[in-house]
Amino acid sequence: MRVLKEYSIFDVEQHCTHEDLWIIYKDKVYNMTSYYNMHPGGLAILRYAGRDATLALPFVSAHSFAWSIIEKKLEECLIGVVKR
């Protein structure tokens, strides 16, 4: 079983640019930096850079047809969990 590092909300907030882009989704932390240039929505991913995207991610209309791809990409980019 993979042990994940714990990050505070403050830790994640420090990674909020296209060159260093982390997001939170369902209390897990993802480093999406390598995915930024491939994101089909372009700059839209920056809206949640350094933030919690839990409430928004599933409701983006373009995500509905590609949810299995999104889940796979999230798993690839998983780096930790949110320290509560």
Q: Which residues contact 37 (CB under 8 A, 6 or more apart)?
A: none
Write down all domains in the chain, each with its CATH number in brackets. Answer: 5-82 (3.10.120.10)
Task: For residue 50, give both structure tokens.
Answer: 């350094």
* pTM for the model: 0.90
For the residues of 5-38, what is the DSSP string, one character each? EEE-HHHHHT-EETTEEEEEETTEEEE-GGGGGG
- What is the chain's pLDDT, residue by residue, as a tens digit (84 residues)? 788 999 999 999 999 999 999 999 999 999 999 988 888 777 888 999 999 999 988 877 666 667 788 889 999 999 999 998
